[in-house]
Amino acid sequence: MFKRIAFTVNGKAYNFEVDVRESLLDVLRSHLGFTGAKQGCGVGECGACSVLIDGVPYDTCIYLAVWADGKDIKTIEGVAEKNGELSDVQKAFVEEGAVQCGFCTPGLVLTTTALKESGKDYTREELKRELSGHLCRCTGYQSILKAAEKSLEGHVCTCVDSPHYKGK
Amino acid sequence: MYDIKGYYDAETVSEATALLADNPNMKLIAGGTDVLIKMHGGQLEDAELLSLRKIKSLESISVAEDGTIVIGAMATFSMIFHNPMLKDLIPILTEAAISMGGPQIRNIATIGGNVCNGATSADSASSLFALNAHLKLQDKNGERVVPIREFYLGPGKVALNPGEILTEILIAPEDYKGFGGQYIKFAMREAMDIATLGVAVVCKVQSGNFDEVRIGLGVAGPTPLRCLEAEEYAKGKKITSETLAEIGKLAVKSAKARTSWRASKEYREHLVEELTQRALKIAVVNAGGAEVV
């Protein structure tokens, strides 16, 4: 069974028939060549397949392709500037050495990008929570957290009695 | 690729109930974080999916004129956590919502799906039990409302009749107004983990005595459950550490914990006794009572 859907990836419009059995990850990787989204666990636990859909991170391995109808999708291929210059988030990941094998990196950069674009303030604990849907088996997370903090410079709240901690 | 034979999108609840009435074998899909995982694991084959994702009316969260909190079944865990009104009125549900999975899962998983999946470990369940939630179920011919305690029948089994869809979760004003509560999820990790035990309590306090207590437990039995004996005992008792200790002991009597690879029966019972007391201590303060030392 096929369904026609229309959506954009990194600003480019697509309109074609997808097999209803396919995940968005299948479509992004196999049909459109956006292999920056990785197939990891396949069950929504590791976050390697995460992309931004209307600015919000989702695991695409458990997101049916038909659900992408009308959506605006951003993959890691669409994060850098048009001239090839890395985004601030990407630069922070490079500078902090937050990349080892690189399998989790696209997802983490995208989620961090979403946090940055939200314009909100985050405590360190909240940042950890927001990044908790991405498994990294190399780094021990410290350098990733540093990179996220660097990306969000000016929006990281460090006071202990911050209202963030009380969830207000 | 997923083992999907057919896929249909309903735009409205009445379209969904009509489709479901004509095709009782259709499997409802909301966020997909349980349904697609089951397909991935081969537990669900040749599925004809009826998606509720386009029914935007089911995402709304509101308070009715009479004070009843109405949560649409398609509200995601992120929507619930970020809803300031829920955070203010029933924080034990928003805390349960943020404890579930990780951000990407919370962005798509729905509370209706969580309930209808019928798992004792559903992170929303202990809070919904403690809040005495009611569920609005709709089919082609009309709707009915059932208390959540009567909805969970067994592991993965719920009281949805063929053709029925869960549309709303209702919490009546008399069940949350004037109560203080606390939710504790006990798990090995801070994120992306299934609860070893979920404890949600609410209480009403009057001049140093318990006026009313409700205790909801997840993973303490084959379904989420309430600790009725402990609740009955607490009524009118002076709030002391002795009372709390007795409540903890009685809560274990309601539990039907079993040994699984996550934890032994004995360990779970220990958690029930201890965490019920810890949650109640905080709930008492949240209800305006004095701290129990």
For residue A158, what pLDDT band results from cuts at 50, 70 and 90?
confident
Q: Which helix (H) or strand (E) holds A4?
A: strand A2-9
pTM: 0.96
Quick check: A147 pLDDT over 80?
Answer: yes
Quick check: A51 pLDDT over 90?
Answer: yes
* % of chain B exceeding 70 in pLDDT: 100
Query: What CATH number belongs to A88-159?
Result: 1.10.150.120
Given this model, what pLDDT does residue A165 score?
52
- Give the structural domain span for B42: 4-51
What value does the mean pLDDT take over residues A52-64? 98
Q: Where do the structural domains in chain A lie, given as residue ranges?
A: 2-78, 88-159
Is B87 in CB contact (< 8 Å) with chain A?
Answer: yes
Is A126 in CB contact (< 8 Å) with chain B?
Answer: no
Do B4 and A21 make contact, defined as CB atoms within 8 angstroms? yes
Quick check: A167 pLDDT over 60?
Answer: no
Say whether both B210 and B232 belong to one domain. Answer: yes
Distances from the Cα of B66 to the Cα of B59, B92, B134, B262, angstroms: 20, 21, 15, 43
What type of residue sits at position B228?
Answer: L
Please count the structural domains in chain B.
Answer: 3
* Contact between B228 and B274 (Cβ < 8 Å): no
Tally A–B CB contacts below 8 A.
90
* C-alpha distance from B228 to closest chain A C-alpha (Å): 31
Quick check: A166 pLDDT over 90?
Answer: no
**Tens digit of pLDDT for each residue in B119-142?**
999 999 999 999 999 999 999 999
What is the CATH classification number for the domain harbouring B89?
3.30.465.10
* C-alpha distance from A49 to closest chain B C-alpha (Å): 10
**Tens digit of pLDDT for each residue in A7-17?**
999 999 999 99
Given this model, what pLDDT does residue A157 score?
85
**Tens digit of pLDDT for each residue in A76-103?**
999 999 999 999 999 999 999 999 999 9
Say whether both B252 and B183 belong to one domain. Answer: yes
Of A23, A67, A132, the CB nearest to B102: A132
- Under-50 pLDDT residues of chain B: none
What's domain A2-78's architecture?
Roll (3.10)
Rounded Cα–Cα distance for residues B144 and B137 (Å): 5
The answer to whether position B292 is within a domain reads no
Its ipTM equals 0.94
For residue A163, what pLDDT band results from cuts at 50, 70 and 90?
low
Quick check: A161 pLDDT over 90?
Answer: no
Residue B89 neighbours by CB under 8 Å, 6+ apart? B63, B69, B176
- Terminal-to-terminal C-alpha distance of chain B: 57
